[in-house]
Amino acid sequence: MQTATSHLSPYSGAWYPGDAAELRALVTRLFADSERRTGRYSAPDAAGFVVPHAGLIYSGTVASAVYRQLRSIVPRRIVLLGFTHRGAARGAWIPDVGAFRTPLGDIEVDGEFAEALIESGAFGRFPEHLLCDHSVEIQLPLLQVAAPEARIVPVYVNRLDAEARRLAAHRLASLVAPGTVLVASSDFTHYGRDFFYQPFPADELIGGRLRELDESAIEAAGTLDPEEFLRVLHSTGSTVCGYDPISLLLETLRCLGEREEIFQETLDYQTSGEITGDFRHSVSYAALGYFPFSALDLGPQDQRALLDSATRTLADYLRTGRRKPFPPDPASPALDRRGAAFVTLYSQGALRGCVGRRASEETLARIVPLLTLSAALEDTRFDPVTPGESDLEIEISVLSPMKRIGNLEQFRVNQHGALLEAGHDRALLLPQVAAERNWRADQFFEALARKAGVSREVYHDPATRLFVFRAQIIRRTAQEA
């Protein structure tokens, strides 16, 4: 049975301030810096996260993008998946302690949940002094500020093979209930001589090259397939230190995704080279969130605000001929989030224009009125809408993050839209296209290839990349303004 011992973190006073007031002030500042970088929005629900684990002055701002989400979710339990950098026995291990102590006080281990994991045989117990590692313990002050009432279940994951990972994930998923959130601790690329990893020179291009390398690993994680994630790491040599906890997280999320489809979103990303100005020794930090599709939906008030913005923008153009966007004022936190969207115009039921952005650094509040004008005036398949034109209907599609899939069988017709990338050729179809035309999946893929200007055989090319997404569809006629 678990002991009542409280483990005093040795990272206090070293990796973060040892004084409680100073530590709380630092975390508060990190949260504020995170909000300035990524906006005010927090989803109302999440299944899991990936969070970095360097000293707080380095990765703390990126990590705060996760903990700000947790603060809004108010979880009761956090399963914290880490690993020990100095190596440990193969397995998934729960330390033999009852609580962890930082300058902010004790954070209790959920002993009942831990015992339920151990009883399955897929997890074991191990002395904390043999496991103690900053991958877990650097998270604790952030957790204590973001979710002070939550208990934790620390799990150190080390070299699980596919079968052991599957068993552990199934047991973990069976115990996950509302109020439980999974967090995997990992930094991404470790670049430099000290890490024995220098695939390219530390020149003026290194920032972009590191981002490209990290994005390949992040994209692979977004498939929720741990084998694909590990394959990409192997093929690129990417030095992602927490690949074991991430792999267990992905396997568990794949189990949970049988209840409701889960999508990965990059909440923030930065390198230590950006912070220090020295890329000769650089570690990459990524904050990733995993959300059920319903958690990304806009509520009724935000839907109305977004429609009002698009409707007012189009109505003003039809009346005056001005290209003036009217964003929601003020924009709610949900509309202040960066997002992908399409705006489609119909005239008496027929398509009149459709323009979108599949990825954007702009907020939904800003891009939707701009896309409304683009749909009216810049879709080259149609003549521009003219002032005074009537009977126009607006449809806004707010897209989920993109998820790369490995085979066509993973596509769900009438639910998924898809993006096809075949070399320089690409095309996107929204999910409602299949529903409107009563297409089967094979007809959807044929139309997608035709739109990209490639043959149906493109789907047999291993170099082809196919992504799926879902969309929240919001409609109103311009005359309803």
Residue 4: what pLDDT?
A: 57
Residue 96: what pLDDT?
A: 93
| Rounded Cα gap, residues 177 and 179, in angstroms | 6
- Could you give the 3-state DSSP secondary structure of residue 242? coil
**Which pLDDT band, with edges at 50, 70 and 90, does 478 fall under?**
very low
Q: Which of 85, 184, 87, 65 is nearest to 134 (CA)?
A: 85
Residue 410 vs residues 35, 399, 445: alpha-carbon distances, Å: 35, 18, 13
* Range with lowest mean pLDDT among 150-154, 358-362, 418-422, 433-437: 358-362
Percent of the chain at pLDDT above 70?
Answer: 98
H/E run at residue 315: helix 300-320
Residue 3: what pLDDT?
A: 53
- Which CATH fold would you assign to the domain 6-296? Protocatechuate 4,5-dioxygenase; Chain B (3.40.830)
Mean pLDDT of the chain: 94
Q: Which residues contact 215 (CB under 8 A, 6 or more apart)?
A: none
Q: What is the pLDDT of residues 227-271, one digit of tens each?
A: 999 999 999 999 999 999 999 999 999 999 888 999 999 999 999
Average pLDDT over residues 293-322: 95
Euclidean distance between the first and the last CA atom of the chain, given in angstroms as a whole number? 65
Average pLDDT over residues 349-368: 91
Average pLDDT over residues 33-38: 96
Number of Cβ atoms within 10 Å of the Cβ of 302: 20
Tokens representing residue 133 in the block: 């590692």
Q: Is the dihedral of CA 52, 53, 58, 63 positive or negative?
A: positive
Residue 71 backbone dihedrals phi, psi, to 5 degrees = -60, -35
**DSSP code at position 478:** G
Top pLDDT among 99 and 130 is at 99
Residue 5: what pLDDT?
A: 82
**429, β-bridge pairs:** 418
H helices of 120-265, where?
A: 128-131, 134-137, 140-146, 162-175, 206-221, 226-236, 243-256
Q: What is the pLDDT of residues 167-178, one digit of tens each?
A: 999 999 999 999
Average pLDDT over residues 197-221: 96
What is the pTM (predicted TM-score) of this model? Answer: 0.94
Residues in the chain: 481
- Could you give the 3-state DSSP secondary structure of residue 247? helix
**Which pLDDT band, with edges at 50, 70 and 90, does 396 fall under?**
very high
Residue 331: what pLDDT?
A: 87
Say if residue 351 is exposed, middle or buried (CB neighbours under 10 Å; 0-12, 13-18, 19+). Answer: middle
Return the CATH class of domain 297-481: alpha beta
pLDDT of 371 above 60: yes
Fold agreement between 6-296 and 297-481: no
Residue 2: what pLDDT?
A: 47
H/E run at residue 350: strand 350-357
| Rounded Cα gap, residues 219 and 364, in angstroms | 22
Residue 1: what pLDDT?
A: 46
Pair 256, 47: CB distance under 8 Å: yes
> What ranges do the domains of the chain cover?
6-296, 297-481
* Range with lowest mean pLDDT among 5-14, 166-175, 206-215: 5-14
264: alpha, beta or left? (left if phi > 0; alpha if psi -120 to 50): beta
Q: What is the pLDDT of residues 98-118, one digit of tens each?
A: 999 999 999 999 999 999 999
Average pLDDT over residues 385-389: 91
